[in-house]
Amino acid sequence: MTGDDATLARLMRAAQAGDRQAYTVLLEETAKWLRRYFHRRIGPEKLDDLVQEVLISLHAKRSSYDPSRPFLPWLAAIARYRWVDHLRRDYRTRTEELSEDTATTGDAGDVVLARISLDRLLDQLPPAQAKAIELVRIEGYSITEASERSGQSKALVKVNIHRGLRKLSALIEKAN
């Protein structure tokens, strides 16, 4: 099974019609796609939680998918929404360094597409805001460590995180 858009859209239409088998396959493929999508954009120990949150959101909001449109842009919007929501939460536990062994075994083209998608979202922020968010909310550094690494004062790191996350939430549907 390849998780191309046409196949996923067909499965989603069947799932909206109540086809349990198609829904199971769709959710499995979606979970794989999401793991690739969030790769290196969330701490490894948080990845499964985030994937599960998106799956629950997909289920709760599946009627909002328009069957006449592609599936992946809809899924990506929900995934971005949950990702930004996740970044917003105030977790203080330091995450582990992102390591190579979290690398995906999925299709390389998909990985590039997914990375571009979330990277492009961050690219739309001013560099200082994107850096602060990446260091603290994605890579798990403390405010003090992020301040040292970025050259920003601690207060500025906090302000940049706050403003950056607010801006990100307004950019969720922006195209790559």
Site residues, another protein (CB under 8 A) = 15-20, 23-24, 27-28, 31-32, 48, 51-52, 55-57, 59-67, 69, 73-74, 76-78, 80-81, 117, 169-170, 172-176
Nearest to 133 by CA among 87, 83, 79, 77: 87
Q: ∠ CA 19-31-171 to the nearest 5 degrees?
A: 105
Beta carbon nearer to another protein, 37 or 141: 37
DSSP states of 12-50 as a string? HHHHHTT-HHHHHHHHHHHHHHHHHHHTTSS-HHHHHHH
Beta carbon nearer to another protein, 53 or 139: 53
Task: Give me Rg for the CA atoms of the chain.
Answer: 17
Closest separation in Å from C-beta 79 to another protein? 9
Beta carbon nearer to another protein, 20 or 92: 20
Closest separation in Å from C-beta 33 to another protein? 12
Token pair listed for 18:
């109540």
Beta carbon nearer to another protein, 84 or 133: 84
Closest separation in Å from C-beta 62 to another protein? 6
Closest separation in Å from C-beta 34 to another protein? 10
Burial of 97 (0-12, 13-18, 19+ CB in 10 A): exposed
